Structure 1
Amino acid sequence: MKKYYNAIFLLVFISLIAKTGSSSDRFVLIFFGEEQGALAPCGCFEGQLGGISRRDTLLKDYETQGISAIAVSTGDLIKSPERQEEIKMEYLLAAMKEMGCILHNLGEKDFEIGLQALSFASQTNTIDFLCGNIEINSPFPLKYKKYLLKELPGFNIPLKIAFLSIISESLIKGHLLDFIRVYDPVQSLTPVINQIKGKADLIVLISHAPMEESVEIAETFPEIGLVITGHGIEDPIESLMYVNNTPLLSHGTRGRYVAVADYVVKSGSIRNTSVDIVPLDDKYAASEKMQVLLKQYQQTLKEEDLLSNLPKLPLEDGNFYIGSLACGTCHKKIHAHWSNTSHQKAYTTLSDSGQQYDPECIRCHTVGFGYVSGFANYDTNRNLAHVGCESCHGAGGNHIKNITDSYGKVNENRCLECHNFDHSPKFQYPKYWEKIKHPKEIPEGMPENTHGG
């Protein structure tokens, strides 16, 4: 009996050794970037892609499957140097921290927020900032690395990934040249790659550059195992290509897709099994943590009262907004028709979703926002809420002072200011016009040819 148990023990021991010797495990690299301030789909139409909430769910899905997911940000968190974009950067970095993102590659849009704000962000965040081919001349110290060597946790043997980073000189323009010097990517990468040879099991390049520049780099350095690139690609699905055996792909813009590289660890080496561009559609449920963060973002916009504090442009010839109710004094039949259209409920769609303090949304859901005498906030300009008469026909102040002047001609271009591809991709002018066009009406005392239709 003793011999029997000894034989069993020996077989189990040999089996364990064999399993260890041919160990196999899996991890994925998840890349996203060029959000340009897109925290979440605006909700203007069904089928929108993207958002930090769905991205977090995708990462959690891998975690649930027992697959290690490494999140990487490739640059351009925001789109302009405005206060709302600065707030967005704060919340995007907070979201990335919650997701366990290991690094953020610096893009030209990130620099546009200003060195003081960027310096503060780099000093106060646990996420490593990266850029391998720049030199910054600024009184505000920017904390960043030339590359990151990251050890993969949870494997039987030590495994390391080297993340390299470059930004194209073609993207650094205007005032950015005053404090940023960009070096040739190949010259910058050469010593780094020589330094990490033998230390990294996989080399990944985050190339904040047009696709053609990244192809040249991949051709120069066959040691690089993966390149994430393709600056400004709106539809990244067809972006995947190979340079020799190195995959190059893009995640696109506005956070609508992520690029996923799938790897298996077997017998002490890393092997790529697939690369893919994944759309963040509604099959990824809303993440509770990210939904809380998005509500906090809207609360910040409310507390700072950006609606009232944003600069306002003057109207020409002393014109001013009067509100749809004033228009209805003469145009009773038209006002009654407007009251039964979706335009009359435009502000309500924002207040119902908690976005009524968001300047980006308010612009197309109220009258005259961004102009003197236009909508500033609901308490003081309730008469300018919703998409009203003047949203289409223009400010009516001068018209009520002289009703015989020609006023208010409308064409498709006015509609396209809000019904653009991002917010209304299915917009067709003839079809949509039929839904909102008002009945013909000649106000009493007004010649027929003085009023636009």
Structure 2
Amino acid sequence: MKKLLLYLSIFFLVLSQEKSHAHSSEFTIIFSGEELGNLEPCGCYEGQLGGIAKRYSFIDFFRKQKNPILPISFGDLLKSCGRQDEIKMETLCRALGFMGYVLHNLGEKDIEINPQVLSFLSQTQSVEFLSTNVNIDAPFPIKINQTIIKDCFDLGSPVKIAFLGILSRSLLGSNVNEYITVSEPTKALKPFIKQLKNKVNLIVLLSHATMEESREIAKCFPDIGLIITGHHIEEPQDSITYVNNTPIVSAGTGGKYIGIAKYGVNKKTIERKTVEVIPLDHTYNDSQEMVALLQEYQHALTEEDLLSKIPQAPLPNGLSYTGSFTCSVCHKRIYDHWYKTLHAKAYNTLVEAGHQYDPECIKCHTTGYGDISGFLNYEKSQSLINAGCESCHGAGNNHIKNVNEAYGSTDERSCELCHDSEHSPKFQYKEYWKKIAHPKESLKKTSRK
């Protein structure tokens, strides 16, 4: 009898342990935003952060931990509203869907996009659009949720998490269409928070606003448990702040970082464990799923021939581009030197990356793109590939006609058109100039009779 009781006690102990481990005891909110059109690092220098391929691997790592995760997007997938941006918007929405994002909060750049594109994406993509204070009464139906509630049933006790999203009116530009209405954030939030605070376990606000505005919102609504915010925050790891017990945190810009907020669950009580922001560096491999999607994106740019559809600006005084080889007739020594520099290989770096049909990349890797007579595409403008002589010195047809006239003076400002903080953050004019400085040559001035 004693043995039987012992066996039964062991059995029930094991059973109770199995039940206790049948459910997770924590969940993680993963957040990103303000990509501003950055699908992947441009590749212009080593050690770049970010990209959807690394982000997929990061999220996949957490998904394999078997704890529930809720990836959410803060807003501003785009930087502008042209045709290339529309293709980016669709690519990024597809990427969010593949990564299991539950929502995307609309930022001011998102609502500037063609309403027909926004309508299509809101109804065909798995990621839901969120905004508590933006109303779009467009000719095309756009599905926008004022609040999104997610139930987590695999946490032992049912847990409800409510997501609200606002867009600050101070961020609106001149491109906002007349059929878009943006309400004052606190007025829009008030009825929802009053309704939700006793019905959900956690309220999360995606506040597409400045840090200062989000702090004021936190003071007005202490029932909000987490605020994801920030606009143009370059160093998000140093920007985490608190109002009372509410963390206010940003994932930075350009998709370079990703944020996580971990919560523990004890019965129906939620306890915040950590809030942190992590750089998407070389620690995370590029996922093949996203690499394939990025290749589809480049293919779409090629199919639509966007290179040839970019408007071309006229040059003053009848100027036109001639190509670097034309310069070699008189400046052979300089041309031979240039040919050995990285400037002369600029176009090939795009070909190797598969970006030679990307208008955003091509300008600094060719000569005169965006100007009449400048590079248009490889088939029509082979003489203008690479960062050639006229990239720095300007269109040279008049110089050929009259070599005695002053031409081609350049300085640090010319270099910084491409070697800017985004694509060449370590640029130092004096050091870089040494790599491309022309050899001296003796040229006699000539006169035309």
Q: TM-score normalised to the size of structure 2?
A: 0.96
Q: Please give the alpha-carbon distance, in whole angstroms, between the structure 1 residues aligned to 2:55 and 2:69.
A: 12
Is contact 2:27-2:264 (8 Å) kept? yes
Is contact 2:112-2:177 (8 Å) kept? no
Q: Please give the alpha-carbon distance, in whole angstroms, between the structure 2 residues aligned to 1:193 and 1:261.
A: 21
What secondary structure, in the 3-state scheme, does the structure 1 residue paired with 2:365 have?
coil
What secondary structure, in the 3-state scheme, does the structure 1 residue paired with 2:364 have?
coil
State the 1:403 CA deviation: 1.4
Q: Please give the alpha-carbon distance, in whole angstroms, between the structure 2 residues aligned to 1:351 and 1:269.
A: 55
State the 1:21 CA deviation: 7.0
Look up the match of 1:9. Answer: 8
The one-letter amino acid of 1:378's match is Y
Look up the match of 1:451. Answer: none
Q: Please give the alpha-carbon distance, in whole angstroms, between the structure 1 residues aligned to 2:402 and 2:427.
A: 35
What secondary structure, in the 3-state scheme, does the structure 2 residue paired with 1:163 have?
strand
Counterpart check, 1:425 vs 2:425: yes
Is contact 1:24-1:264 (8 Å) kept? no
Q: Which runs of 5+ in 2 are unaligned?
A: none
Is contact 1:367-1:388 (8 Å) kept? yes
Question: Deviations 1:283-307 (Å, cap 9, x if unpaired)?
Answer: 1001010000011111111111111
Is contact 2:367-2:391 (8 Å) kept? yes
State the 1:124 CA deviation: 1.5
What secondary structure, in the 3-state scheme, does the structure 1 residue paired with 2:223 have?
coil
Q: Please give the alpha-carbon distance, in whole angstroms, between the structure 2 residues aligned to 1:286 and 1:333.
A: 43
Q: Please give the alpha-carbon distance, in whole angstroms, between the structure 1 residues aligned to 2:289 and 2:81.
A: 27
Matches of residues 29-68 of structure 1 in structure 2 within 5 Å? 29-68=29-68
Q: Please give the alpha-carbon distance, in whole angstroms, between the structure 1 residues aligned to 2:286 and 2:185.
A: 39
The one-letter amino acid of 2:204's match is V
Quote the sequence identity (%): 50
Question: Deviations 1:107-148 (Å, cap 9, x if unpaired)?
Answer: 000011122221121121121100001222322221111010
What secondary structure, in the 3-state scheme, does the structure 2 residue paired with 1:178 have?
coil
What secondary structure, in the 3-state scheme, does the structure 1 residue paired with 2:190 have?
helix
Look up the match of 1:353. Answer: 353
Is contact 2:404-2:445 (8 Å) kept? no
Check 1:49–1:77 CA distance in 2 against 1; reply closer, same or farther (3 A cut). same
Check 1:85–1:24 CA distance in 2 against 1; reply closer, same or farther (3 A cut). closer
State the 1:268 CA deviation: 2.8
What secondary structure, in the 3-state scheme, does the structure 2 residue paired with 1:363 have?
helix
Question: Deviations 1:372-420 (Å, cap 9, x if unpaired)?
Answer: 1111111111111111000100111111122111100010000000001
Q: Please give the alpha-carbon distance, in whole angstroms, between the structure 1 residues aligned to 2:340 and 2:16.
A: 75
Look up the match of 2:124. Answer: 124
Check 1:446–1:431 CA distance in 2 against 1; reply closer, same or farther (3 A cut). farther
Q: Please give the alpha-carbon distance, in whole angstroms, between the structure 2 residues aligned to 1:287 and 1:69.
A: 19
State the 1:8 CA deviation: 2.5
Check 1:266–1:395 CA distance in 2 against 1; reply closer, same or farther (3 A cut). same
Aligned residues: 446
Check 1:181–1:265 CA distance in 2 against 1; reply closer, same or farther (3 A cut). same
What secondary structure, in the 3-state scheme, does the structure 2 residue paired with 1:174 have?
coil
What secondary structure, in the 3-state scheme, does the structure 2 residue paired with 1:176 have?
coil
Q: Please give the alpha-carbon distance, in whole angstroms, between the structure 2 residues aligned to 1:78 and 1:156.
A: 39
The one-letter amino acid of 1:6's match is L
Look up the match of 1:97. Answer: 97
What secondary structure, in the 3-state scheme, does the structure 2 residue paired with 1:10 have?
helix
Is contact 1:24-1:267 (8 Å) kept? no
Is contact 2:227-2:247 (8 Å) kept? yes
State the 1:190 CA deviation: 1.3
The one-letter amino acid of 2:133's match is N
Is contact 1:21-1:267 (8 Å) kept? no
Look up the match of 2:327. Answer: 327
